[in-house]
Structure 1
Amino acid sequence: MENVLEVEDNFNVNNNDLNLKKSRWLSQIIEYYPINKLSKICISDLSDSYKVENDTFNEKEEVVDKKKGTISLIGSGPGSISMLTIGALNEIYNADLILADKLIPQQILDIIPKNTELFIARKFPGNADNAQQELLNLGLLNLQKGKRIVRLKQGDPFIFGRGGEEYLFFNDNGFKPLILPGLTSALVAPIVSSIPTTHRDVIDQVLICTGVGKNGKLGSFPKFKSNRTVIFLMSLKKIADILPELLKKGWFENLAVCIVEKASCPDQRIIRTTLGCLIDVVEIVGIRPPSLLITGNSCDLLCKLPPNEKYKVEEGYNETLQQFDHGLNDIIKNLSGGLV
């Protein structure tokens, strides 16, 4: 217990909030760490991860001409190697240092060359802002040393990924980033769950929004439109707060919705239900990040819930496409000359 309190102190969490946050903290640690690493984690590892290592950024470090350092903000897509762009792959293979998001899938991390330095963002509950600043400082330090930096971001850098903020930070410090787009899960998830985001005479609008804004506050929610597909990112853990707000704006409880977890990853999961049943279903099946919610009349155009069933769960990504990913991984290894 004393060790847990020490970690909570690093979060700058008031002791009155300890019991409320402890279970969420532990569950997210389990979600973020691979199973093969969980048994080896000790409390000191976690405690160190929450500290902003200012001493790493010693002003006495030798600074090289800024013109030599380069940085690119790269979208890695939702998870499948087949959805990684050639441009992103080229940047990964030519990087000196890769600064990766916490939730970059393992199959993407596995193609990073062995001799390339990799730093994964240490974002956990209560430490997101400090971890983000640590990542920016580390990138700037290495840019000043003349290194080629890749900021590897999940999905697309500019879709709720702080890409614009990071661009401004590096640009203001004399390093204009190269931006390469990635496939956002907001548009991939409907595809892998057989949901057409637009459909003639039914849906002619698509809206991507977040359920949670800065500091955990609820986002701004749209009024319901029958001709629009709405994809909510970062919403499901607060769905009990979000649903009443949607109902106030004309949304219907019998509206078809779909949850997609880890879109295009081997452990992808799809849960089909209705808006009115959503809170109960989330409680029953549980939710793993990253996940999103697709809503609208497009959700049951191709795949409908069986009669009298509250929800339906579909496990796993398309087996044929998984085999394609494995073959593509072998090709990448051959092209890299054994560096991966």
Structure 2
Amino acid sequence: MPDQALCLDPASSAGVTLVGAGPGDPDLITIAGLKALLGADVVVTDRLVSHELLARLAPDVELIDVAKFPRSRFTAQEDINAVLLDRARAGKRVVRLKGGDSHVFGRGFEEVLHLQQAGVPVRVIPGLSSSISVPALAGIPVTHRGVVHDFTVVSGHVPPRHPDSLVNWDALAASRGTIVLMMAVQNAAAIAQTLIDGGRDAGQSAAIVVDGSLASERVIRTTLGQLGKSIETEKVRPPAIILIGDVAGL
């Protein structure tokens, strides 16, 4: 049964709350996020959300899985929007539960806009983004005094030079900051070569954190030049965070 001390007021109005569940460990959801989750009538969840967290829901809560698997089962964003709208208009308290933070490569703001345009009340409870929390848990700071003063979080779901890419890879290659790659396992080798071609040292430190914050977590230390080979040799599969920069060698 849910912890009654954490539940929302049962009289709270219907609508949708976007909750970031954090990087995976169920203890890393925020208190506000847990309150919203345990007060929900309907939970619409992604694949990276902890099963332990979902197990805390009351038996009468409607749980809707809208997981997107790479190159596999896929729920269209339009269908997710329709589900959120339908349940909210039925007077339900809906929680849209996403791994990490809903606004960091999570399409959260698309859902906010859709609901606002339909006149449905919506609020956002941020979550710990895996882009910074996973490296920290693995012992890698994204910044460190005297080493690096900036970091850039990049989606690697499309390769460099692809027509759909919005990333300025030349600028990243020329920078001295830490690069944090998300959703980049498939394109990591191409990204690494592009950064090297742009001026990054092939011997620069890199790290791959697989299943960050979970009991199955692995940290693979490598170099930028060996990144693609390390992913292949270590049989890396998503989810994984890739870090490129001097902090990865600390």
TM over 0.5: yes
Instruction: Specify whether residues 165 and 216 from structure 1 end up closer, same or farther in structure 2 by C-alpha distance, changes over 3 A only.
Output: farther
The answer for the alignment partner of 1:290 in structure 2 is 239
Q: Could you tell me which of 118, 129, 142 is aligned with 1:197? A: 142
| Aligned-partner residue type, residue 207 of structure 1 | T
Q: Could you tell me which of 156, 167, 179 is aligned with 1:230? A: 179
In the alignment, does 2:102 pair up with 1:157? yes
The answer for the alignment partner of 2:6 in structure 1 is none
SS of residue in 1 equivalent to 2:179: strand
The answer for the alignment partner of 1:257 in structure 2 is 206
Q: C-alpha separation between the residues in 1 aligned to 2:52 and 2:106? A: 20
Q: C-alpha separation between the residues in 2 aligned to 1:176 and 1:209? A: 31
The answer for the alignment partner of 1:35 in structure 2 is none
Residues 6-60 of structure 1, C-alpha deviation per residue, up to 9 Å, x if partnerless?
Answer: xxxxxxxxxxxxxxxxxxxxxxxxxxxxxxxxxxxxxxxxxxxxxxxxxxxxxxx
Q: C-alpha separation between the residues in 1 aligned to 2:237 and 2:72? A: 19
Shift of 1:293: 0.4
Instruction: Specify whether residues 81 and 117 from structure 1 end up closer, same or farther in structure 2 by C-alpha distance, changes over 3 A only.
Output: same
Larger Cα-atom Rg: 1
Shift of 1:110: 2.2
Q: C-alpha separation between the residues in 2 aligned to 1:109 and 1:237? A: 29
CA contact (8 A) 1:122 1:131 kept: no
Superposed counterparts of 1:1-340, under 5 Å: 69-124=14-69, 125=71, 128=74, 130-213=75-158, 217-218=164-165, 220=167, 221=169, 222-226=172-176, 228-301=177-250
Q: C-alpha separation between the residues in 1 aligned to 2:236 and 2:220? A: 10
CA contact (8 A) 2:185 2:238 kept: no
Normalising by structure 2, what TM-score? 0.86
Q: Percent identity?
A: 31
The answer for the alignment partner of 1:335 in structure 2 is none
Shift of 1:223: 2.5
Shift of 1:132: 2.3
CA contact (8 A) 2:43 2:97 kept: yes
Residues 313-336 of structure 1, C-alpha deviation per residue, up to 9 Å, x if partnerless?
Answer: xxxxxxxxxxxxxxxxxxxxxxxx
CA contact (8 A) 2:26 2:50 kept: no
Cα RMSD, aligned residues only: 2.1
Greater helix proportion: 1
Q: C-alpha separation between the residues in 2 aligned to 1:80 and 1:202? A: 29
Identify unmatched segments of 5+ residues in structure 1: 1-66, 302-340
Residues 251-307 of structure 1, C-alpha deviation per residue, up to 9 Å, x if partnerless?
Answer: 111010111112111111111111111111111111222111011111112xxxxxx
CA contact (8 A) 1:92 1:150 kept: yes
Q: C-alpha separation between the residues in 1 aligned to 2:13 and 2:137? A: 41
Q: C-alpha separation between the residues in 1 aligned to 2:135 and 2:68? A: 27
| Aligned-partner residue type, residue 292 of structure 1 | I
CA contact (8 A) 1:95 1:149 kept: yes
Shift of 1:201: 1.4
CA contact (8 A) 1:93 1:112 kept: yes
Q: C-alpha separation between the residues in 2 aligned to 1:280 and 1:107? A: 34
Tell me which stretches of 4 or more aligned residues in structure 1 moved more than 6 Å. Answer: none
| Aligned-partner residue type, residue 174 of structure 2 | F
Q: C-alpha separation between the residues in 2 aligned to 1:208 and 1:217? A: 17
The answer for the alignment partner of 1:333 in structure 2 is none
CA contact (8 A) 2:138 2:219 kept: yes
Residues 106-142 of structure 1, C-alpha deviation per residue, up to 9 Å, x if partnerless?
Answer: 22222222221101114243664x5322221111111
Of residues 289-298 and 241-250 in structure 1, the stretch that sits farther from structure 2 once superposed is 241-250
Instruction: Specify whether residues 234 and 88 from structure 1 end up closer, same or farther in structure 2 by C-alpha distance, changes over 3 A only.
Output: same
Normalising by structure 1, what TM-score? 0.64
